[in-house]
Structure 1
Amino acid sequence: MNRSVVIQELETKAKRKIVISDIHGNLDLYLKLLDQISYKPNEDCLILLGDLIEKGKRNLDTLHYIMHQVQNEDVHCIMGNCDFIAKNVLYSYRLDFLKHVLGFRKESLIHEMTRKLNFEITHNSNMANVCQILRKHYLKELCFLNDLPHVLEDEDHIYVHAGIESNENFGTDFKQVMTHPFFLETNVIFKKNVVVGHMPVTEYCTHIASFDPIYDAKHNIYSIDGGNMVKYGGQLNALIFEDNTVKMDRCDFLQERKVVHDVKYHTQIPFFITFNHGNIQILEQHSIQSKVYCPYNNRTFWVENEFVTKDMKAYDYTNYEIPLKKGDTVKEVFAYQDKVQIKKNGILGWTYRSNLE
């Protein structure tokens, strides 16, 4: 298998370039976002930063829809690490690993394909035979994903799923550009703006968590993955370049709730526990809350037990009580005890149930 990084030049005459990342088989939300931003086929240029599939409930439908867009509109895609599953099937590559992934990832393109063919993948399945059957019936779809470039580049921007190594060398292996960890923490100053997805932006938050795109002006990086299909409060983000302006829009299917009481800002030191750095040590455990220590944040705090996982994490917990005004609309993320984790304008926090209609 050729593992070199495939770079393509992006050619478009569109005035508006729209970048969306990590759709993850969530076709309904993708269509809602396109409608929300008034996407105009063949007037706008649409750039999809990979992870088109996996984790959502409509992976095959999403793939077919995007394939149609690429064929008929000014739409350009790059490969994400989740899209790599097509290579596993096409080349019968690392089949034990593929079976392992499909064992816990029930929402997958491969499961949808096999169900369409009236069979299921189990721990007894011969994966070589499964791949042979899928190549026979879904070769066009698998080849579309397999042939996606890893990097798109134009005069002002570099578009890649996870990150690049440097200005001179984007990467010597495609795994580098599809799985680059914590790209926003790089020390490299890029000559062009680099636009990436892959890592939910909340993973870079330690105080107040926001799901909106992050722009690092020092290093010229836009990170835009809103955690769609990965986070309870996740959203699908669109980054829009038009003339000399940059705008964003967001979309989710979270339930809207009306605020019925004013909530003033309380003096506090907010903190947020991420997934990657969410390991905790339980110091005291009670029926409702536990006293825990998070080494990464160097914080000891009381946390509701609903946030403590079996693998000793407390990720996506925030102590930030969002200020509210009566009549505001917020999004409900997670209700627990007498509180509700909410999202307001992309920012995660909590409030008491009694403050919501």
Structure 2
Amino acid sequence: MQAVRRLLVISDMHGQIDAFNALLEKASFNETEDLLFLLGDYIDRGQNPRAVVAKARELEKKGAIVLKGNHEAMMEQALIGRKPESVAHWAANGGANTLSSYGLDFETVYHNIESDSLKLPDELNDDLLWIKRLNVYAQTEHYIFVHAGVDPDKKLEDTDEETLLWIREPFFTAYRGDKTVIFGHTPTVNLQPSPDIYFGDNNIIGIDGGCVFGGRLNCLELPSKATYFV
């Protein structure tokens, strides 16, 4: 890994492009000196999912480590799997906002998803191919970066993708690994009274401040554990 001044970690932007850009600025992100980790959920619910995907792809080209979230997995299952029930499940979790940002409406996609007549925009198809190849975890000597968490009873490399993208318990209480797990997915207000970054006493750090629900978009700096938010 390249020698870097610090690691920065952000997760769960959910279409909040203005907050995402503001947070990068507030943390004084420098692509030549910092290594940025993005832990997924770029899409759904917020005002401009398409723009957040574009920003994540731009940052990846400049060296950022970009991981998949469960919302990207739902999008992939809906639009590549081409099943109405997958489209409905995704839309119920904010997917209609993502479709709208690409110029599509849920009803049209839902009713025509199994038909060859439904043509997705080229940009959306390209973004889907990008999402499909995203990794679901990354690790360094001291840290594991993942969207939702890890199975405390399995080796990381033996854990299925669904677990890494969706787990909550027993990860929160039963993890006892040597590496610190940095995760998003679960808003920290579900783990403590505030949307601040959650520092668990079992070597886990939750950073999802629930921005799209009126909370914060958090950034964790490592190894200092300094925090930034908007």
TM-score normalized with structure 2 length: 0.89
Task: Name the residue aligned to 2:205.
Answer: 222
- 1 or 2 for the larger relative contact order (CA 8 Å, sep ≥6)? 2
Taking structure 1 as reference, are residues 184 and 40 closer, same or farther at Cα in structure 2, changes over 3 Å only? same
Equivalent in 105, 125, 139 of residue 94 of structure 2: 105
Taking structure 1 as reference, are residues 48 and 33 closer, same or farther at Cα in structure 2, changes over 3 Å only? same
Equivalent in 79, 89, 111 of residue 125 of structure 1: 111
Is the counterpart of residue 247 in structure 1 residue 230 in structure 2? no
What amino acid is aligned across from residue 197 of structure 1 in structure 2? G
- Structure having the larger proportion of residues in helix: 2
- Describe the SS at the equivalent of 1:165: coil
What amino acid is aligned across from residue 239 of structure 1 in structure 2? L
Task: Name the residue aligned to 1:176.
Answer: 163
Task: Name the residue aligned to 1:53.
Answer: 43
Matching of residues 66-85 of structure 1 within 5 Å: 66-71=56-61, 73-85=62-74
Equivalent in 220, 238, 243 of residue 219 of structure 2: 238
Shift of 1:68: 1.2
Give the CA RMSD over aligned residues. Answer: 2.3
CA distances 1:252-289 after superposition (whole Å, capped 9, x unpaired): xxxxxxxxxxxxxxxxxxxxxxxxxxxxxxxxxxxxxx
- Count of residue pairs brought into register by the alignment: 228
Instruction: Give the whole-Å Cα distance in 2 for the aligned partners of 1:131 and 1:147.
Output: 26
Task: Name the residue aligned to 1:160.
Answer: 146
Q: Which runs of 5+ in 1 are unaligned?
A: 1-10, 252-357
In the alignment, is the contact (CA less than 8 A) between 1:201 and 1:226 conserved in 2?
A: yes
Task: Name the residue aligned to 2:178.
Answer: 191
Taking structure 1 as reference, are residues 175 and 156 closer, same or farther at Cα in structure 2, changes over 3 Å only? same
Provide runs of 4+ in structure 1 moved above 6 Å: none
What amino acid is aligned across from residue 167 of structure 2 in structure 1? H
Instruction: Give the whole-Å Cα distance in 2 for the aligned partners of 1:131 and 1:20.
Output: 38
Rg comparison, structure with higher value:
1
What amino acid is aligned across from residue 176 of structure 2 in structure 1? I
Task: Name the residue aligned to 1:348.
Answer: none
Taking structure 1 as reference, are residues 149 and 100 closer, same or farther at Cα in structure 2, changes over 3 Å only? closer
- Structure having the larger proportion of residues in strand: 1
Matching of residues 217-296 of structure 1 within 5 Å: 217=201, 219-230=202-213, 232=214, 234-242=215-223, 245-251=224-230
Shift of 1:122: 1.2
Equivalent in 166, 169, 190 of residue 203 of structure 1: 190
* Identity percentage of aligned residues: 24
What amino acid is aligned across from residue 212 of structure 1 in structure 2? D
What amino acid is aligned across from residue 220 of structure 2 in structure 1? L
